[in-house]
Amino acid sequence: MDRREFLRIAGASGGLAAAGTTGLLAACHTNGAGFVRSDGSVNGWLYRPTTASPNSLTLTAHQATVEIAPGVHSPVLTWGTGPIGPTIEARTGQRATITMRNELTEPTIAHWHGLRPPEAADGHPRLAVGSGQSYEYDFEIEERAGLYWYHSHAHNRTAPQVYLGLAGLFIIRDDAEDALSLPNDRRELSLVLQDKRQDSSGKLVYDPFGPQLMEGFLADTPFVNGIRFPRVEVDSALYRIRVLSASNARIFRVGLSNGSPLVLIGVDGGLLDIPAQLRHIDIGTGERADLLVDFSGLPAGTIVRLQSQEFPSPTRAMGMMMGGGRQGMGGAALPQGSQMDLLEFIVSREVRESRQIPKTLVPLVRLDRAEASRERVFRFNSMMMSHTVNSRSFDMSRVDERVPFGATEVWRFVNDSPFPHPIHMHAVHFQVLTRTGGRGEVFAWERGWKDTVLVFPGEEVEVIACFDRHRGMFLLHCHNLEHEDAGMMMNFVIE
Ligand code: C2O
Ligand code: CU
Ligand code: CU
């Protein structure tokens, strides 16, 4: 229905100019065909990718031209037919047998972010396949219910490939989640948050230059599920809304325009033990939040915006000091920490029902520092156009750390640079123990099982993980895609 609506509106409003920043921040009004903003652009409807089972699935990476806003077409790279890949839906314990075909003109490889498959199925960049080739994945899905995702992990090409569409959602469900009777079907939405830039004809452009390669590519226009600033119809009821940041560099401070609280029920590695009520949640690239949002009692016609709210960002402050005005230090059109509207919920149907938010969710095992056999320190730095971990740039075949199979360790991530780094580990889920310096606390959205954690300038973040899934070579890296492509990544071997 959303898709059909979208096409109908697209037909009625061909050839619209790209939305500028002012247009995006301006109020909307309604006409017969859709929802027109002050610059004349029309909102598209939220794209809901087709769903696919991981069993005997073929994902073909290819270039396609798709509609990314009403009447606006752009070349993209995709594993499906839309601007992002199909949503893979699985249950814990299921087997994944996936063929990834590469019909691009350059190498690529798919990585299942947050899943912990054996080395051969993890999508390490050294496993990338060339144009016309395929890669076969065969692994068991062992993760708890949660929102995971998959994306390109091609060496030096992850940033452009993910930006242009080589990303999709991977939803895992299990019995513990079923028992909670969370909102589902139409009342469950999964949102891929990104920022992109369009040229004057509306086509996506990826063109970071000098300073943007240092800070990471910060664009000016919000995209959700690959569609520019979309809108979605909701009932006046409780919804489960899951968000993923799949941006290149932007951190989203997710909140609602009407000031309603978000109820956080899960993070990267699945559900929390108890829900937390919050005004906003910060997510860096790769991080996810599982939320309950209550639209109950809102009259039909009410518009609530999902926003990224303003937050203090070191590079934005520096840019202003250096006379850059709104420009960040990296010359970004919309600096890190700027307010950005992401999506509009429009209440289209009033319903009367009362659904309770569960008081408790799923029990969590806490890892204790006393169980750790060793602590390692990783320093992340960005200097002179290079991005390093412990002063080294990524080498695909060099082994940087060796970890005994089965060990529990504390890893300390230290940010020596002026940019935030979302640090991601393959092969494990971790728990955040401490944050010192900078923001100086572990936030409510960092409880539970994580695979990515934001480390701001001047911060040290300690995480604890047990390396007990598979032996083999895995990655630790910054998930800012420009930083990752420039070498802020290293190999560890579990042996
Ligand atoms: Cu989301 Cu190494 O990746
Ligand atoms: Cu990953
Ligand atoms: Cu980084």
CATH class for the region spanning 3-174: mainly beta
| Least confident range of 42-51, 179-188, 359-368, 423-432 | 42-51
Which residue's C-alpha comes closest to atom 3 of ligand 1? 113
Rounded distance, CA 399 to CA 52, Å? Answer: 36
Tell whether ligand 1 has an atom less than 6 A from the beta carbon of residue 124.
no
Q: What is the tens place of the pLDDT at every residue in 95-126?
A: 999 999 999 999 999 999 999 999 999 999 99
- Tell me how far the alpha carbon of residue 29 lies from the centroid of ligand 2, in angstroms: 41
Nearest CA to ligand 1 atom 1: 113
Tell me, what's the pLDDT at 37?
Answer: 62
Residue 253: CB within 6 Å of ligand 1? no
Task: Using the Cα atoms of residue 12, residue 17, residue 23 and residue 24 in order, give the sign of their dihedral.
Answer: positive
DSSP string computed for 389-404: ETTB---TT---EEE-
Average pLDDT score over the chain:
90
Query: In a 10 Å sphere around its CB, with 0-12 CB exposed, 13-18 middle and 19+ buried, how is residue 149 labelled?
Result: buried
109 CA from centroid of ligand 2 (Å) = 12
Which residues have C-beta within 8 Å of that of residue 306, sequence separation ≥ 6?
A: 191, 224, 241, 243, 254, 255, 256, 257, 341, 342, 343, 344, 345
Residue among 253, 164, 245, 249 at smallest CA distance from 215: 249
DSSP string, 443-468: -GGG-S-BSEEEE-TT-EEEEEEE--
Closest CA to 226 of 349, 40, 87, 25: 87
pLDDT at 35 over 70: no
* Residue 288 Cβ contacting ligand 1 at under 6 Å: no
Given the CA of residue 123, which atom of ligand 1 is nearest to it? 2
Answer whether 483 contacts ligand 1 (Cβ < 6 A): no
The pLDDT assigned to 63 comes to 98
Closest CA to 52 of 93, 94, 87: 87
Note the pLDDT of residue 133: 98
In the prediction, which pLDDT does 330 show? 54
Q: Give pLDDT, residue 38.
A: 62
- pLDDT of 83 reads 97
Please compute the mean of the pLDDT values over residues 227-236 and round it to a whole number: 97
Q: Are 331 and 219 in contact (CB under 8 A)?
A: no
Can you tell me the mean pLDDT for 42-53?
A: 93
Closest by CA position to 228, among listed 465, 338, 69: 69
Where do the structural domains in the chain lie, given as residue ranges? Answer: 3-174, 185-349, 369-494
pTM beyond 0.85: the answer is yes
Q: Are 488 and 158 in contact (CB under 8 A)?
A: no
81: DSSP letter:
S
Instruction: Tell me which amino acid residue 148 is.
Output: Y
Pick from 192-206, 302-316, 356-370: least confident = 302-316
HSE, side-chain direction, 13 A CA sphere, residue 47: 28
Other residues' Cβ atoms within 10 Å of the Cβ of residue 99: 14
Q: Is residue 450 in contact with ligand 1, taking CB distance under 6 Å?
A: no
DSSP for 93-132 reads T-EEEEEEEE-SSS-B-EEEET----GGGS--GGG-B-TT
Nearest one of 197, 144, 204 to 170, comparing CA atoms = 144
Q: Which atom of ligand 1 is nearest to the CA of 426?
A: 2
What ligand 1 atom has the least distance to the C-alpha of 484? Answer: 2
CB 426 near ligand 1, within 6 Å:
yes
Q: What is residue 415's predicted lDDT score, i.e. its pLDDT?
A: 98
Question: Which class in CATH covers the domain with range 185-349?
Answer: mainly beta
pLDDT at 17: 31
Pair 493, 427: CB distance under 8 Å:
no
Spacing, Cα 424 to ligand 2 middle (Å): 7
Q: In this structure, are strands 386-389 and 374-383 parallel, antiparallel, or unpaired?
A: antiparallel
CATH number for the domain running over 369-494: 2.60.40.420
Query: Does residue 424 have its Cβ closer than 6 Å to ligand 1?
Result: yes
Average pLDDT over residues 234-263: 98
Q: What does the pLDDT look like over 445-489, one tens digit per residue?
A: 999 999 999 999 999 999 999 999 999 999 999 999 999 999 999
Instruction: Find the 479 Cα to ligand 1 centroid distance in Å.
Output: 7
Neighbours of 381 (CB within 10 A): 19
Question: 151 CB under 6 A from ligand 1?
Answer: yes
Q: In the prediction, which pLDDT does 318 show?
A: 59
The pLDDT assigned to 261 comes to 96
pLDDT at 8: 35
Q: How far is Cα 68 from Cα 65, in angstroms, rounded to an integer?
A: 9
- For the cut 50, the answer to whether the pLDDT of residue 11 exceeds it is no
How many A from CA of 127 to the centre of ligand 3?
23
Question: Is residue 478 helix, strand or coil?
Answer: strand
Measure the CA–CA gap between 484 and 244, rounded to whole angstroms: 18
pLDDT at 328: 47
Confidence of residue 236 (pLDDT cuts 50, 70, 90): very high
3-174 shares its CATH topology with 369-494: yes
pLDDT digits (tens, 9 = 90+) for 17-28: 333 333 333 334
Helix (H) or strand (E) holding 215: helix 210-215
- What are the tens digits of pLDDT across the range 74-94? 999 999 999 999 999 999 999
Ligand 1 midpoint to CA 481 (Å): 9
Residue 245: is its pLDDT beyond 60?
A: yes
Residues 6+ apart with CB under 8 A from 250: 194, 195, 216, 218, 219, 285, 308, 336
Tell me how crowded residue 157 is: count the other CB atoms within 10 A of its CB: 20
CA of 381 to the centre of ligand 3 (A): 8
Distance CA 137, CA 157 (A): 21
> 3-state DSSP: the chain helix, strand, coil percent, rounded to 5?
10, 45, 45
